[in-house]
């Protein structure tokens, strides 16, 4: 790393634009990203960004789509799995880093909004953040099972109809969350892609990169430059460097990758 660790962390987190952080997989990158998230904790009444580290954000590559499967359900499942992963981890970090007694009064309006706009079964009323976190976790896990069943059996399992929250409108959720803690910055979603994930999960992540949501959510996607190779979102729109995201070089992996590409082009020419 040309920059010091501290300088690189500040460079990444002081920018609200979406970013691809290119670096070799392994413990060095993982520890750097975990430290970056720790440096930007959840605080009340603050103007600093918040960092949340996620080492599992996409559906497992063990289950990848057959070409003859209907694509729309796969897109929805991948998107909702991503969204539920983000908001569940955000509440995990919140409950770890803040005292629950300091959140009781603040969370009242937030939970009212959740019950009114997100809960489908009106017999259910979420009473606190810990209960909400558990509901979000159950929904995330359910979407993973639904995906695996769909890939293996070509049947769409409708068990998600039993979930108290079936879909996450992530932009509204994050705005309401920021209002609750009175944060004037953004949530930095730090994705550490150490293991392969399915193409649809990459497209779901790209859809957030393509959106104009970075005032509230900034995607920080760490991966080896030769492992992403998918820059279309779920709508088939190409996300573009500079226009939609910036590149951060954690090590020399990006330069080595570009040399390899140039060498292959020269050889083919």
50-96 pLDDT tens trace: 999 998 778 876 655 555 556 788 899 999 999 999 999 999 999 99
So what's the pLDDT on residue 121? 83
Query: Residues 223-243: pLDDT tens digits?
Result: 999 888 889 999 999 999 888
Above 80 in pLDDT, residue 269? no
Residue 132, pLDDT above cutoff 80: yes
Q: Residue 232's pLDDT is what?
A: 92
- Answer yes or no: are the C-beta atoms of 223 and 26 closer than 8 Å: no
Question: Could you tell me the pTM of the whole model?
Answer: 0.92
Distance CA 209, CA 20 (A): 10
Task: Answer whether 19's CB lies under 8 Å from 247's CB.
Answer: yes
Share of the chain above pLDDT 90, in %: 73
- Predicted pLDDT at 70: 60
Residue with the bigger pLDDT between 55 and 25: it is 25
Tokens 């994050």 locate to 174
Cβ(137)–Cβ(56) under 8 Å?
Answer: no
Assess whether pLDDT exceeds 90 at residue 2: no
- DSSP state, 115? I
User: In this predicted structure, what is the pLDDT of residue 158?
Assistant: 76
DSSP 186-252: -EEEEEE--S-B-HHHHHHHHHHHHSS-TTTEEEEEEE-TTT----B-TTSPBP-BTTTEEEEESSS
Residue 220 binned pLDDT confidence (cut-offs 50, 70, 90):
very high
**Residue 266: pLDDT above 70?**
no
Predicted confidence (pLDDT) at residue 267 exceeds the cutoff of 60: no
Contacts of 7 (CB under 8 A, 6+ apart): none
Q: How far apart are CA 164 and CA 53, in angstroms?
A: 26
Average pLDDT over the chain reads: 91
Report the alpha-carbon distance of residue 239 to residue 233 in Å, rounded.
7
């Amino acid at each position: 790393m040309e920059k010091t660790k501290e300088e690189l962390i500040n460079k990444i987190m002081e920018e609200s634009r979406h970013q691809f952080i290119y670096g070799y997989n392994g413990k060095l990158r993982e520890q750097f990203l975990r430290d970056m998230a720790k440096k930007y904790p959840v605080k009340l009444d603050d103007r600093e960004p918040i960092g949340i580290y996620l080492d599992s954000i996409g559906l497992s590559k063990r289950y990848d789509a057959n070409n003859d499967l209907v694509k729309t359900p796969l897109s929805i499942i991948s998107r909702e799995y991503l969204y539920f992963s983000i908001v569940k981890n955000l509440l995990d970090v919140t409950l770890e880093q803040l005292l629950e007694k300091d959140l009781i009064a603040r969370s009242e309006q937030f939970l009212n909004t959740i019950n009114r706009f997100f809960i489908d079964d009106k017999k259910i009323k979420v009473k606190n953040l810990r209960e909400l976190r558990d509901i979000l976790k159950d929904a995330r896990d359910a979407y993973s099972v639904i995906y695996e069943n769909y890939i293996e059996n070509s049947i769409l399992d409708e068990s998600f109809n039993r979930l108290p929250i079936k879909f996450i409108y992530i932009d509204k959720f994050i705005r309401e969350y920021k209002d609750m803690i009175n944060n004037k910055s953004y949530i930095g979603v730090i994705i550490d892609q150490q293991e392969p994930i399915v193409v649809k999960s990459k497209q779901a992540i790209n859809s957030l990169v393509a959106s104009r949501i970075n005032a509230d959510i900034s995607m920080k996607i760490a991966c080896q430059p030769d492992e992403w190779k998918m820059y279309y979102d779920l709508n088939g729109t190409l996300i573009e460097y500079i226009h939609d995201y910036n590149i951060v070089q954690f090590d020399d992996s990006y330069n080595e990758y570009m040399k390899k590409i140039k060498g292959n082009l020269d050889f083919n020419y």
